[in-house]
Amino acid sequence: MWRFGDVDLQTARARIDAAFDAGITFFDTADIYGCDMPAGFGHSEALLGKVFADAPELRGRMVLASKGGIVLGTPYNSSREYIAAAIDASLARLGVDHIDLWQVHRPDILTHPTELAEALQTAVSSGKVGAVGVSNFTSAQIDALRDAMNIPLVSTQPEFSPLHLNPLQNGEFDQAMQHSLAVMAWSPLGGGRIAAPETDREKAVASVLDRVAEGFGVSRATATFSWIAAHPARPIPIIGSQTPARIAEAADIYKVTWTRKAWYDVLQAAMGENLP
């Protein structure tokens, strides 16, 4: 829902319907989304709230996730007081009394893990939040928070694509598998660079993806999503498109079957070198 914003109610509803039609039921938003639009901070949540007000039945069909903790100009705040206020504000904008998954959007270095754990536990015990996770946390930050919590940390949301391999290399995916954390991969198309490659590396990755895409009759984007989802940590690619036709393409992810060689071919093109 990052770009879910400056449109009318009918267009917003069409995007959501396209996702449901493709079998997508997980909707990922955040309080900061839409801050670059005229209505500013909270705009994307507020638009989704208008959709719910117009069609209340849609809320029960989705897993609703949101995030908070980014403060324009600060830049981060995960204090006990701020987390509580941010969740209440998101609930108000969305027009709901419960968010299924709430994640800390970015790590606040000035908040002790124990304080953050207490804030998240309070949110769950109050019934306002069903489960909690983190976004853009390092493995060490995740470990520190998990150790402070008496409820599960259920998710992590790192950047991951064939052009951003850090979670494969820094232990994040291994940690997720170790602790059964759901992984949501943001910017799965490399910020558009997979669709419109410019550098030699980007073109090499696109070429390998195209071979697989053509073999299964899917788009390059769908092949990329399926490559991400093929990892045993079972990452969920967060699809950012706001075009109903492209959202619909996501259903084709299951048409692709990756051989080990084909999957590694993409990885090696992304690395710019062959594995030993």
Catalytic (active-site) positions: 33
Q: Would you say the C-alpha torsion 100, 101, 105, 108 has a positive or negative sign?
A: positive
Per-residue buried b or exposed e for 94-128, using 16+ beta carbons within 10 Å of the residue's own CB: bbbeebbbbbbbbbbeebebebbbbbbbebbeeeb
**∠ Cα 235 224 184 (to 5°):** 20
Closest CA relative to residue 24, chosen from 272, 212, 238: 238
Whether the Cβ atoms of residue 244 and residue 18 lie closer than 8 Å to each other? yes
For the chain, the maximum distance between any two Cα atoms, rounded to a whole number of angstroms, is 57
The residues pairing with 68 across neighbouring beta strands, listed in sequence order, are 104
First to last CA, the chain: 40
| Total residues belonging to the chain | 276
Whether the Cβ atoms of residue 118 and residue 80 lie closer than 8 Å to each other? yes
DSSP 8-state secondary structure symbol assigned to residue 19: H
Please state at what angle helix 200-216 crosses helix 220-229, rounded to 10 degrees.
90
Whether the Cβ atoms of residue 169 and residue 148 lie closer than 8 Å to each other? no
